[in-house]
Amino acid sequence: MKSLLLIIVLAAATGAQSPDRWKGLVIDESTPENTIAILGKPEADKTDSFRVYKIEDWFTKSIREKKWRRLEYKNVEGFDKVILAFDTKLVFIELNPKKLDPDVLENAYGVPFTATFDKFERALNPGNVGRDSGRVQSYPVFYYLYAKAPKSILLAGVGNSSIGSLLGAKAINDDVGYPGKVAYLQIISRTLENRDGIETLK
């Protein structure tokens, strides 16, 4: 409850948009018809699965196994590609921005983001994240930022393609901001979260 109140306060204070929507489309509410009315005819309209990166274990297997209605758009202003998936209502948004600084995310949505890495990177650099503080020491060539909101979970893949990082010299965390640029941003409905085992604890 406290985290929900914090998100509401932050959003109000910063003028941030709600982290469960994009261009008037709302997670768990918008339909394919709403989407086409707002964005126009999609580049592709098909039935297919979609992939959540890095944190896919947080969600039900149906994401990978089920065939969802998918609308795909190209060259929406500011984006190379947009993917929207529906189970009658909108459950997934993937945005592939042309150029987006990762520091914009917290300001845009009013929720705190946390950096994380893939398993291979963690195995190579087990001490890169402080055991007690959780603070990241340095950023690899590719990393992730995630945030939890009341109705959605946000995941950004960030490419840190500076010359130094490409040569193996990782960007040191200076506590000022996140390096690189956002390769994609996924907004996923929390109705798809994996709740196996929850009943056991009730």
State the Cα–Cα distance between residues 155 and 142, nearest whole angstrom: 13
Q: What is the DSSP letter of 99?
A: S
More confident residue, 77 or 166: 77
**Rounded average pLDDT over 173-198:** 84
Residues 6+ apart with CB under 8 A from 87: 66, 68, 69
Identify the pLDDT of residue 121: 54
CA atoms of 183 and 200, how far apart (whole Å): 39
Question: What pTM was computed for the model?
Answer: 0.82
- What percent of the chain shows pLDDT beyond 70? 74
Please count the helices (runs of H) and the strands (runs of E) in the chain: 6, 12
**For the chain, what are the domain ranges?**
2-190
DSSP reduced 3-state for 8: helix
Q: Where are the beta strands (DSSP E) in 112-162?
A: 114-116, 138-139, 142-148, 152-159
- Summarize pLDDT for 34-71 with one digit per residue, the tens: 999 999 999 999 999 999 999 999 999 888 889 999 99
DSSP 161: -
Q: Report, as an integer, the average pLDDT of 88-117.
A: 94
What H or E segment, with its residue span, contains residue 84? Answer: strand 79-87
Q: Residue 22: pLDDT band by 50, 70, 90 thresholds?
A: very high
Q: Mean pLDDT across the stretch 109-131? A: 68
Report yes or no: 49 and 68 within 8 Å, Cβ to Cβ: yes
Handedness of CA 80, 36, 56, 114 (dihedral sign): positive
**Is the pLDDT score of 167 beyond 60?**
no
Give DSSP secondary structure letters for 27-80.
Answer: TTT--HHHHHHHH-S-SEEEEE-----S-GGGB-THHHHSPEEEEEEE--TTEE
